[in-house]
Structure 1
Amino acid sequence: MELLQKKAIEVLNKNWKGNFSIPCANLYPFQWFWDSGLIAIGFAHFDMPKAEKEIETLLDAQWENGFIPHIIFHTETDTYFPGADFHLSNLHPQASKKYKSTGMTQPPVTGFVLEELYKISEDKKATLEFIKRNIDQVYFNHEYFYHQRDPKNEGLVYIYHNWESGTDNSPIWDDIWSTMNPPEYTFERRDTTHVDPSERPSKREYDHYLHIIEIAKKYHYNDEKIMELSPFLVQDPLFNAMLIKSNESLIKLYKLIGGHDAKIKQLQLWQNKSIRSFNDKLFDERLGVYVHYDLRNEKSLNYISSSSFSPLFAGIPDKKRAESMIKIMMDKFGREDQYLCASFDPSSERFNPKKYWRGPVWINLNWMLYRGLVQYGYKDIAERVKKDSIEIIEKNGFYEYFDSRKKVHAEENAGYGGHDFSWSAALLIDFINPKEDLKF
C-alpha cells in the first residue's frame, strides 16, 4: 500500500499546475469542477495548502449569480474540443470577467469536500479559518441552484446538458437523443487522438451535445430561456444527491463556525423539501432504485446505473429503500465475475464495459458508494467495493475508468480513458487513509 500511495502522490503532483489541477495530461488540460473537489480530498492527506488552493481557484471562477462552471480554461490550448472559443461564456452578462469557461456546471461536491478537508486536517483551527473564508461562496452556489434550476419549487434541480451530470454518455441519455434530430456539425475531435475512439462517445452523440450548447448560447446562457427551450432537461439522482450531501455538510460547518442561523435555517428548508421530493419522485418502486426524471418530456427514465445508488452517500433512502437498493445492486452488479460497481446495469443490452459511462467502473462513484454502504451498516459490501477499487488500480494503474469484468483484468490492461488520472489517485489515497466521521 505504501508504494501505491507514493505513486498516487506522484500523479497528483504531476497534474498540479501551480494553483489548480488538471484531471490528466493531454485529454483534459483544464480545471474541472467536480474533479477539483475530489482531487482536493486526496491532497488534504499530504499537502493541505494545495487542497485549499484547488478549492480557492475553483471558487474564484464563480459567476456573479452564484453559478460555477464545469470547465475553467486557465490556458490557451487546442488539444481539447470544444474549448473556450466554442463555449463563449462571456455571452452571459454575469459570467466571470477573469476566466473563460463553459456555460454548464457539474455535480456540486464542494460543500461536502469542505467537510472532508476539515475531517482530514491535522490543524483543525487553520482549516476552519479557510472554510470560514470560502463557505459563503459555496452557499451562494446552492442558492443559485434552488433559485434558477428548480422551476416547480420542489427541491429538485435540473441539468440542461448531459455533461452537467458528470456521466457524459450514459445509456440513459439515449432516450433523450431519440427525441432530437440535431444538425450534422463539422468539427475536429481531440479526445479520440489521445485514446481509443471505441472507448469514447460517437460523432453523432457529439452532434447532440453541441446542439444543446448552441441553443444555450443563442440565448446567452439565460436560465429561463434554457428551461423553456432546451430539449435536455433532467432531474438527475446523482446531481441532486451531491447537492443534498453538500447541504448537510454546510449545515454542520455553519453550526461549527457559529453566527449563521439564517443560512442554516434556509439550508434545512431546502434539505427537507429536496429529500421529500427525491423519495417521492425519483424512487422507482418497480425497479427498487432511484432513477432519472426527464423534466422536458415529463417521464421517468427507468434504467439502473451507478447514479441510482448515489443517494446512499447522501443518506436519502430510509432503511427499507436502502435494503431494496443494495439487493438490486448485488443481484445485477455484484456477481462474482464482476467488479463493483459498473456504471450501468450489466444485464441491459445497452451495457458496454469499455465505453466511458456505459458500463465501466469509476473510482469516484465507488468512493461515494463505499461511504454510503458504511453509513447504512453494510460493512462487508462496503469492504468489497473498497477492495475492488484498490485491486483494479493495482492491476492497471491510475486510469480514468476500468472494465467491470474480472476476466479482462486477468488477460490485458483493463484501464481506459485518461492515464495518471487525478481523482483515481486522490480517492485511492483517501481509501487507504480512512478518517473516522467527526461528531459536529
Structure 2
Amino acid sequence: MTDRADDGEQTRDDRRAEAIEVLEANRRDGYTVPSETLYPFQWNWDSAFIAVGLAGVDPAAAAREVETLLSATWPNGLLPQIVFWADAEGYFPGPDEWDAGFDDVETSGISQPPVVATAARRVYETTGDDDFRDRVLDPLDRHLSWWRRERSTDGVVYTRHPWETGMDDSPAWRLPLERFDPGDVAYERADRKSAELADQRPTDWDYDRYVALLRQGREAEWDESVLRGTCPFRVEDVLTNSVYVRACEDLAALYASAGEDASAERWREQAEETREGMRERLWSDDLGLFVSYDRVTDEQLLEPTVAGLVPVFGGVPTAAQFERLHETLTTDFFAFEYAAPSYVGDDFAPDRYWRGPVWMNTNWLLERGLRRYDATDAADRVRADSLALCDREGFREYFNPRSGAGRGSDDFAWSAALYLAWTGESQR
C-alpha cells in the first residue's frame, strides 16, 4: 500500500487548496460541472458527490448544489442523469437527441444512483439548517418514490440503460447488450478528445447500443409503462440498489429530524424491503460478493465488479455474507498497488473506464460502508490509497490500479470533492 500522508501536512494542505481551486473553476451558476472539457453540464450523482465534499468547506455552495439538482426533478419524480442548464451545441447526446425534460428545463430521459439523498443529509447535519432540510424533503421523497413506483415490483429497483448505472461500460452489461441488435444508428461521438482518451472510452459496439436504447426511450416519450415491457436492458444494478437503500435510510433520518415519524418509518421499512430482496437475489456465494440481475432473462450477471462490494454502504450484507465479501475484497480487490479496481475479472483493462481503473466515488462508497461494518483496516486501506493517488497524480477522473497513473479527464470535480471529504476534520 502506498501512503503519502508521511510527506507532511504542508503537502496535504496544498493539495486541499488545489481541490478547492478545481471546484471553483468548475463552478457554474448554482452547480458544478464534472469536467470542463468532457462533461460541461450538471450530472446527477456527480453533483451529489461534489456536495459531500463541499459540505465541510463551503456549506452554502453544497446546499445550492443539491437544490439546483433537485430543481430539475420531473413532475413524475424522475431526477435526470443530466441537466442542460447551458448551451449544448456540439455535445452528443445533447438535449435535441434526448427530447426530454419539462417546461424550459432540458434534461436526459434517464436517472442515476440517488446519492443526492445522502448528500442532502450530510449538508443538513453539517449546517443544522432546518429550512434547507424542509425544502429538500418533498423532491427527495418524490424521487425515491419514483424509483419504487416506476422501477420495482418487490423493492429491488432496476435500471434500463448502462448510463443510468453510472458504471457505463462495466463488463457486467455485456450479456444484456449482446442480446439485442441496435440496428443502423448514425451519430457522431463527442467523448473522444484525443487518441489516448479514445482508447480509454467505451467502444463503438457499446455506444451503438447506448444510442439505440436512448432512441427507444425517446420514441416512447419516456413512458415507463411502455418501456418496462419493451426495453431490452432491464437490470437490477447492484450499485444503484445499494445507494437506493442508503438513500431511503437518509431520507428517513431527515424526516425524523423534522419530527415526521410516520414518514421516517415508511422509508426505513422501504430500505429493509430492498435489503431483503438484494440478499436473496443479488448475492453470489460462488463469487463471494453481490452481483447485478438481468430481469429480462432472470439470471445473475456474474462479473466481479466493485459494485458488488458497495452493498456495505447500505448495510445490506448479513454477517455471513460480509465475512465472504471481506475475503473477496482482501484477496481479489486488494491484490493491486492501489485499491479498489472497478473490475477484477477476465476482461480486466487497467486504463479503460469501468473495466479496471480505480474511481474515487466508488472508493468513497466502499470506504464509508466498510466503516459501517467496523472493518477499519480495510476502510483505512481504501482511504489511504485514494489519497495517495490524488496526491501523486492530481484530481484525475480515474487511475490505473497497478501503476497509479491518472487517466481520463483532469481537474475532475468529484475526485477533488471527495479528497476534501476524506481529509476534512470530521470523518463522517
Query: TM-score normalised to the size of structure 1?
Result: 0.92
Q: Distance in 1 between matches of 2:384 and 2:174?
A: 32
Runs of 4+ in 1 over 2 A off after TM superposition: 77-80, 434-437
Structure 2 match to 1:385: 382
Contact 1:11–1:420 (CA under 8 A) maintained in structure 2: yes
Query: Taking structure 1 as reference, are residues 269 and 380 closer, same or farther at Cα in structure 2, changes over 3 Å only?
Result: closer
CA–CA separation in structure 1 for the residues paired with 2:304 and 2:376: 23
Corresponding residue for 1:105? 111
Match of residue 70, structure 2, among 48, 59, 68: 59
Structure 1 residue 180 displacement after superposition: 1.4
Partners of 1:129 and 1:327 lie apart in 2 by 44
Structure 1: distance between partners of 2:265 and 2:327: 36
Question: Helix, strand or coil: the match of 2:148?
Answer: helix
User: What is the rounded CA distance, in whole Å, between the counterparts of 2:21 and 2:204 in structure 1?
Assistant: 35
Aligned equivalent of 1:115: 121
Instruction: State the AA in 1 paired with 2:121.
Output: E
**In the alignment, what sits opposite 1:71?**
82
- Counterpart in 2 of 1:24? 35
SS in 1 for 2:365: helix
Alignment of 1:2-401 (within 5 A): 2-89=13-100, 95-119=101-125, 121=126, 123-124=127-128, 127-150=129-152, 153-194=153-194, 196-258=197-259, 260-335=260-335, 337-345=336-344, 348-401=345-398
How far did residue 436 of structure 1 move? 5.2
Q: Which moved more, 1:187-196 or 1:372-381?
A: 187-196
Task: Report the Cα distance in structure 2 between the residues aligned to 1:385 and 1:46, rounded to whole angstroms.
Answer: 23
C-alpha deviations, 1:403-439, integer Å up to 9, x for none?
A: 010xx23xxxx111111000000000000115255xx
Q: Does the 8 Å CA contact 2:88/2:95 hold for their aligned counterparts?
A: no
Q: Amino acid of the residue matched to residue 230 of structure 1?
A: C
Cα distance in 1, alignment partners of residues 425 and 357 from structure 2: 25
1:69-94 per-residue CA deviation (whole Å, 9 max, x = no partner) reads 000011113342111110100xxxxx
SS of the equivalent of 1:357 reads coil
Distance in 1, Cα, partners of 2:93 & 2:105 = 16
Higher deviation after alignment, 231-240 or 317-326: 317-326
Separation of aligned partners in 1, 2:217 and 2:205: 19
**Quick one: which amino acid aligns to residue 161 of structure 1?**
H
CA distance in 2, matches of 1:135, 1:193: 39
* Deviations, residues 132-176 of structure 1 (Å, cap 9, x unaligned): 1111110110111111111xx210111000000000000111111
Partners of 1:55 and 1:134 lie apart in 2 by: 8
Task: Look up the match of 1:92.
Answer: none
The one-letter amino acid paired with 2:205 is R
Change (3 A) 1:338 1:180: farther
8 Å Cα contact 2:124-2:132 kept in structure 1 = no
Q: Indicate if the aligned counterparts of 1:366 and 1:385 stay in contact, CA closer than 8 A.
A: yes
Moved more, 196-205 or 159-168: 196-205
Q: What is the letter of the counterpart of residue 69 of structure 1?
A: P
Q: Which runs of 5+ in 1 are unaligned?
A: 90-94
**Residues 52-80 of structure 1 deviation map (CA, whole Å, 9 limit, x = unaligned):** 11111111111000111000011113342
Q: Deviations over 1:237-278 (max 9, x none)?
A: 1001111101111111111111x2332232133122111111
**In 2, Cα distance between equivalents of 1:25 and 1:290:** 35
Give the Cα separation in 1 of the matches to 2:231 and 2:163: 14
Aligned partners of 1:319 and 1:376 also within 8 Å: no
1-structure distance, mates of 2:243, 2:59:
23
Shift of 1:102: 0.5
Letter in 2 for 1:352: A
Find the aligned partners of 2:367 and 2:211 in 1 and give their Cα distance: 35
1:298-354 Cα deviation digits (max 9, x unpaired):
11101110100111111111222111101011111112x431100001xx2211110
Q: CA deviation at 1:185?
A: 2.1
SS of the aligned residue for 1:193 comes to coil
Per the alignment, in what secondary structure is the counterpart of residue 313 of structure 1? helix
Letter of the structure 2 residue corresponding to residue 85 of structure 1: D
Look up the equivalent residue of 1:250 and give its one-letter code: L
CA shift, 1:193, in A, is 2.1
Percentage of matched positions with identical amino acids: 33
Q: Is the 8 A contact 2:63 2:120 kept in 1?
A: no
Give, in angstroms, the shift of residue 221 of structure 1: 0.6
Counterpart of 1:293 in 2: which secondary structure?
Answer: strand
CA distance in 1, matches of 2:22, 2:228: 40
Whether the 8 Å CA contact 1:27–1:79 is kept in 2: the answer is no
1:28 Cα offset (Å): 0.3
Measured on the aligned residues, the alpha-carbon RMSD in Å equals 1.3
